[in-house]
Amino acid sequence: MARLIHLAEEPITDIPGVGRWQSLNDRLGIRNFGVSAVLMDPDDGTDMTHDEAGCAHQEVYVVVQGRALFTAGSEEFEAGPGDVVALDDPAETRNYRALEPGTRIACFGAGPGAEHPYGAWIAEEAAARS
């Protein structure tokens, strides 16, 4: 079964300091990798600094709209609409932030192994911070 969603119409969960997130796994019926989107502005104070060493996830980011500054280890670069950023080393520290208002980034990630409740962390994080 194919599913079509429009990011502009999907519910947004605001997590202070982490951005405005859209959990997409359930809506898309995806269980074998994580898929979500984040909407950010340059002045919203989001800090996405993290690594995936604990779960061995590899991640891919697709800039859907706006521009973002990505940091991977000691490397820093800008990405815009249609650019794809891949991080294959789960232990590498990464970060990204919006350079333009309304920057939206689609995030995909998975680690080795079977099904996992990808995207569930968005609701858990929001509940923990409210």
Tokens of 97: 């932030």
**pLDDT per position as a tens digit, 24-71:** 999 999 988 999 999 999 999 888 888 888 888 889 999 999 999 999
**Is 128 part of a structural domain of the chain?**
no
**Is 45 part of a structural domain of the chain?**
yes
Average pLDDT over residues 87-91: 88
CATH number of the domain that residue 90 is part of: 2.60.120.10
pLDDT of residue 22: 97
**Is 7 part of a structural domain of the chain?**
no
pLDDT of residue 54: 86
Pick from 69, 7, 71, 77: which is nearest to 36 by CA? 7
pLDDT of residue 115: 60
Average pLDDT, the chain: 91
* Phi-psi group of 119: left, alpha or beta (phi > 0 → left; psi -120 to 50 → alpha; rest → beta): left
**Is 67 part of a structural domain of the chain?**
yes
**Is 9 part of a structural domain of the chain?**
no
| Confidence grade of residue 86 (pLDDT, cut at 50, 70, 90) | very high
* Phi-psi group of 29: left, alpha or beta (phi > 0 → left; psi -120 to 50 → alpha; rest → beta): left
| Confidence grade of residue 118 (pLDDT, cut at 50, 70, 90) | confident
**Is 41 part of a structural domain of the chain?**
yes
CA contacts within 13 A on the Cβ side of 39: 13
C-beta of residue 20 within 8 angstroms of C-beta of residue 13: yes
**Is 105 part of a structural domain of the chain?**
yes
The residue segments making up the domain with residue 80 are 16-110+118-123
What is the C-alpha separation between 87 and 109, in angstroms, rounded? 9
Q: How many domains does the chain have?
A: 1
**Is 84 part of a structural domain of the chain?**
yes
